[in-house]
Amino acid sequence: MHKIITKRCAPLVAALFFSFPLVAQLDFEIDRTVKETRLGIIRNTLLTIDDDAKAIVNRPLKNPNLTANGVKLFAMIVTDYQTTKFFQEQIEPLDVYVRDAISFPSLFTGVPVLGRWGGGVDGYMYTGVSAIYAAGVLLGNEKMQEAGILTTKAVVESYIVSHIVLKTLVARHRPARPLGDYSQTDRDSQYPFVHSPLDFFNFHVPYLHSDAYGTGFPSYHATMFFAFASVNSKVFDNKWIPYGLATTALLYDIRGHNHWVSELVAGAVIGEFIGKVVYENYHERRNTSNSLRKRRRFATQMGIGQNFGVVGPSVVISW
């Protein structure tokens, strides 16, 4: 009896089966996002220089947390002797572990112009950023081009803000090493390296290159490295790699930078803000750029369905 019912139901099951399409489709979503042209990226970066300058200049005036941040900075400065002494004794020696794992031999040795900028961590960062941009151009990758151009802009602005302007205006002397030991006679213990964290306003002309006299506040390298991290974390939507690289670069030659702790913190905060301003101003202008172009790709749908009562494979292509 069971076999008879099964045989009688088979045609009904088959009819129901074939009355509905069997869809097992592979669907690729159409990409209609916008893409900026190569020249558009450069143009929008240059056209937002004035926007960046306004945001940076107005930051102290329009900062909603100005009072709280001022109190924090004051507290860091008055406690700089204790924190920096601890930093010199406990944190700076850790750079040996970084140096054992990573080395940065000089790049472009023998090349008169490039050789000067190819030494140390800075040279690797400049070279790496240039390589990212070049790869982006060759591969047609907008994010890589954006990262290269915006990072370069952020580094230049970091140099102007921290190294040229703030170091000249604040003119703070750097800490002696080690703090509290007046018997030392090495280079980092003699004047203008001092034992007081309150030695400000040792005015001088703006230095284009590194100089020990009155150039402590803020740390330019902290500004530069965190501006790099700020931009790239936003472009690639990844915080771990950019900030990991920035921290490693800063620790690699932390003794050579020779700063009070407050100067490192201030540099990192300024760099973070510069990177944010550069990225946001660029994208605000990019969204209204007339050089944007539509990027569209083929969309494919494959499945099994009925056409005029005949069941078979179907392919739909749209663009």
Do 28 and 124 sit in the same domain of this protein? Answer: no
Contact status, residue 26 vs residue 301, Cβ threshold 8 Å: yes
pLDDT tens over the chain, length 319 residues: 444 444 455 454 444 434 444 444 444 443 445 688 889 999 999 999 999 999 999 988 888 888 898 999 999 999 999 999 999 999 999 888 888 888 888 888 777 777 677 778 888 999 999 999 999 999 999 999 999 999 999 999 999 999 999 999 999 999 999 998 888 888 889 999 999 999 999 999 999 988 999 999 999 999 999 999 999 999 999 999 999 999 999 988 888 899 999 999 999 999 999 999 999 999 999 988 766 655 444 445 555 555 555 555 655 555 4
Angle at 260 between CA 259 and CA 266, to 5 degrees: 90
pLDDT at residue 29 in the model: 41
294, 298, 293, 300: which is closest to 315 by C-alpha? Answer: 300
Do 87 and 221 sit in the same domain of this protein? Answer: yes
Q: Which helix (DSSP H) or strand (DSSP E) does residue 233 occupy? A: helix 220-235
Q: Which domain holds residue 137?
A: 38-290
Do 319 and 208 sit in the same domain of this protein? Answer: no
The values of phi and psi at residue 311, to 5°, are -90, 130
Specify if 275 maps to a domain: yes
User: What amino acid occupies position 144?
Assistant: M
Q: Taking the mean position of all CA atoms in its chain, how far away is CA 304?
A: 48
Do 265 and 170 sit in the same domain of this protein? Answer: yes
Contact status, residue 171 vs residue 212, Cβ threshold 8 Å: no
116, 121, 118: which is closest to 98 by C-alpha? Answer: 121
Do 208 and 233 sit in the same domain of this protein? Answer: yes
137, 167, 161: which is closest to 149 by C-alpha? Answer: 137
Do 84 and 29 sit in the same domain of this protein? Answer: no
DSSP string, 79-115: THHHHHHHIIIIIGGGHHHHHHH---PPSSTT-TTHH
Do 103 and 216 sit in the same domain of this protein? Answer: yes
Q: Taking the mean position of all CA atoms in its chain, how far away is CA 41?
A: 17
CA gap 188, 184 in Å, rounded: 9
pTM of the model: 0.80
CA gap 261, 86 in Å, rounded: 10
Do 205 and 248 sit in the same domain of this protein? Answer: yes
Looking at the structure of the chain, the number of domains it has is 2
pLDDT at residue 46 in the model: 95
Do 285 and 309 sit in the same domain of this protein? Answer: no
pLDDT at residue 309 in the model: 55
